[in-house]
Amino acid sequence: MKCDRCDNVAIEHMRYSGAHLCPEHFIEFFEQRARREMKGVRRDRIAIALSGGKDSTALLRFVSDEHEGELIAITLDEGIDGYRDESVVIASENCRDLGAEHVVIDLKREIGFSIDEIFSLYEERGLKHVECSFCGVMRRYYINRAARALNVDYLLFAHNLDDMAQTALMNLVHNDLSRGMPPYNNSGPEFVRRLAPFKWIPEREVAVYGLVRGIRCHIAECPYAHVAERNRYRSAVNLLERGSPGVRHGLVKSYDRASSMFPREGEMKRCSECGEPTSNDVCKRCEMTKTLEDLKYK
């Protein structure tokens, strides 16, 4: 099959639009969409939430090529043996090659528990696994705190279209329209302004972009991924997309419009334990840490 824009062989077919693109025009179309989400960002000081996986590493490469200002990558090492330690090495190597500063936050050092230790603790107590919930809360907390301390103008996340569609469906099912979409922009100086340049780009296309550009990334799956609630929503979105290409775009657009009509109520407070912003008296991070300490000595 030939490329729709030239006579070269196409490497990717976008079913949602019908387009067939060769490597050159695929890269052009990919970066055009990412660039649109970063409109107005020029010489600002930028931080990227970098896991070392395909999405965040592709974002690091794209921003490194495009951006004229300072670039910092922030990685949370959750303490997953044989998984996160390998991805941190790859993340550091990519940062070194691209001339980006790399900040690594050690979760065990911060809260006294690694994700592996949390898993073991819950196993010993016969409790339902919550590794993914802990990871999400801790990642948002520590990466925002680090970005603020680094005095960056923008914090970028590599959420792709599939991530967005899955989150939209999850929030709809949980009747939580006021939550908005990742990367969850909050008002106030305590929250660094956030962007998701890959918001309208499918996960498969991010992977193709990485292959075409020869980007080295960590490709292993998290050993705790199988317990994530998100898996059910991923399957549902994939099923809908296979039957009706374009469902992901429609779901995210509809959710964006609907959620804008349901702003979060109540003012932002300061956590009584750590002082970070929260909608409750105690933030989720401190609440979770207290639960772990209670379980450990129970």
> Is 2.40.37.10 the CATH classification of the domain at 41-265?
no
SS3 43: coil
Work out the angle between the directed axes of helices 247-259 and 161-173 (0-180°, nearest 10): 50
CB 143 within 8 A of CB 135: no
Per-domain boundaries in the chain: 41-265
Per-residue pLDDT reduced to its tens digit, 238-274: 999 999 999 999 999 999 888 878 766 667 789 999 9
Per-residue pLDDT, 265: 62
**Bridge partners, 105 (sequence order):** 76
Work out the angle between the directed axes of helices 131-149 and 115-125 (0-180°, nearest 10): 150
Per-residue pLDDT reduced to its tens digit, 75-90: 999 999 999 999 999 9
Determine the Cα–Cα distance for residues 236 and 241; give it in Å rounded to an integer.
9
Positions in the chain short of pLDDT 50:
none
SS3 115: helix
Is the link from the previous residue into 263 a cis peptide, with omega within 30 of 0? Answer: no
Per-residue pLDDT, 214: 96
Per-residue pLDDT, 226: 84
- Surface-to-core class of residue 289, CB atoms within 10 Å of its CB (0-12 exposed, 13-18 middle, 19+ buried): buried
